[in-house]
Structure 1
Amino acid sequence: MLEAVVVPSLTRWGVSPNADLVYRTLITFGPWSVELLSRSLEMQPRLVRSALDELVAVRAAIQAHQPARETSADDRVWSGRAPAQVVPLLQDRHHRDALARHQLRQRLTRLPHPELVTDLSRLPAGDARPLDGLARTMDRLTNLVAAERHEHMGMNPEPAFSAAALKTAGPLERGMLARGITILSLGVPASVEDESEAHDIELDHLGRQYREMPQVPGKMIIFDRTTVFVPQDPSDRTRGMWEITAPGIVAELTALFLRQWSHAKDPGRDWTPPAHLTPRESTVVALLAKGYTDAALAAKLDISVRTIAYTLSGLMDRYDVVNRFQLGLRLGAEAAQQAPVGENTRDDGE
């Protein structure tokens, strides 16, 4: 089975929506002029030129060639650089900017895992116990998740998650959200190797709350503010976790998580579908807007291509349109209307 090619959205790395749209058009269809981009995208020429200037500044677009007889700057032809070249540069810039924006207090930059482990080893078995190895840790985590009734908080310092890890975590998180459990997830900017984009979009549309910091103190999971997992050895996840139930330590770690949460930021989505769509509909259209093909989307969400077709067919019937392009325009216009004042791009005319 051939791997589906995905043209990534660059907005998560700080590129504007207009520049992202122009970039994905260039990558998908090849070199185009400003005039052709303007007509095809129904975007004013000045916005196309501004988008190209932005792409050139981040080295995502280059001038393909000069026309034989140039009559205006809009006759120039532009092409997009390959995503494999562009994304690492944007990620590096994003990381550096994030670190500059978020100067964390010294007391919030280190979770005292070594001190905690030393103290925990002296507590009664009923207050803290080691869960040795990944298998034992996962068994206990699954049991605690099934027993949760109110809130699940997770702090993750990992910049990348594998498809295998997400396949294990996905059903647990979807089950919690279906039961009405509040999920607060605190993480760091993703690295190139991260495979969680589709997983995160799906969970966000199901109601998970996610915030991000340049770095977090360490790995921590809090179950209903009564039980906490921290690593036995932060440098070796195979060692397993400590399960903490001592009320004083649980309260201290919960307070630490909430302090971090208050300093963290919602990284935002590239595009937010209209609020009245179902979680499945929102997930499908958001990922298609990012450039996923039906095959890639089906593989990421573990659903059939036919399910995607049925989902889109239902939306087209609801909006009385005949193709995906028209559906995209309708959804985009509706989403723009529901956006908070100040988020829409100001149009001053030519």
Structure 2
Amino acid sequence: MDATSAGPWAGTGLDPLSGRVLEFLVGHPAADAGAVAEAVGVPADEAGRALRTLEDELLAIRIAGRPTRWRAGPPRSSLGSLLARRRSELAQAELYMEQLHEVYRSVSGPHAPHLVEVLERAEEVAARYGHLLKASRREVLHLAKPPYVTGTETAYGDGRDRQDGRERAAGETAVHDGVRLRSVYDTEGFTDEMSLETALRGTAGGGELRLSSGLPVKLVVFDRTTALLPVDSDQPSAGSLVIHAPALVAVLVALFEGLWERAVPMSLESRQDWPVPRQAREADIDERTREILHLMATGMKDDAIARVLGVSRRTVQKHVSEAGTALGARTRFQIALLAAERGWLEQCPSPAESVART
């Protein structure tokens, strides 16, 4: 038996030491407190307290004499009685939980909290997200689209959270091993450093990523039983809804699956599924293309880049298209990421410097 943790005793209410003492007594006809202490490796007074605990639970029997000796009761009957008491206590606790829930429902307003919860504050959303993520055991489905902000919004995407620009400790809000994480990111979300890093973290543990354009809503579905989505996708600070209603969750799952089927699969870890021609490894690009790619990677649209550089929108698109062909990239996100990998964005002039050149 495992003597280093609570092991099988966690559900009985016994502390680990009492469990170890009982395991020793079961294998010995009788023993005094000193022998028990030596066997389990604790001081005699601690062994004595454990023996008295077992006596109170009717699991150990005191044998009169000097010194006092102890033996275990028949495990099937003595432990059976203890487990029966624990089951009765749990049943009473469940009944009390239901009573408390009825009180909660009666004072929580008219919005039927058993079907939909309304979270108005950012800290409420972050806490609820973390709780739902930790409770997930099978699958997490995720739609991510801009605008992205620090704090709660990153929680909508990668199995992690940020507060004030700092990541939480690893594992604090991460999905459990064995939980399948599938994410669809809006292509417009892959134009700034935060969204790129968020996607990388989300897939680092084996999560699956696909890209699509024009996602209708931000969404996370946990184990196909609960969904989290913002009240207003364009205003992340407006709060979020937690959906429990089975019919509504089923509709949101169907929405996700439809978008997933039409989205483009993507791997961010190896990127081996992105064809990279030989010339992309050997060729260089001119300074104008480098400037355009740099501005594109910061999140600027073609029209904005054209205005900054004093060129036409067609010129911007031509440079971007040529860079994509050289890199073998299919999307703007691939172009930006592969350009960074090739070092094409290093030592690039700032937007102000680019304007000064024109």
TM range, normalised to the smaller chain? 0.3 to 0.5
What's the TM-score, normalizing by structure 1?
Answer: 0.38
What's the TM-score, normalizing by structure 2?
Answer: 0.38
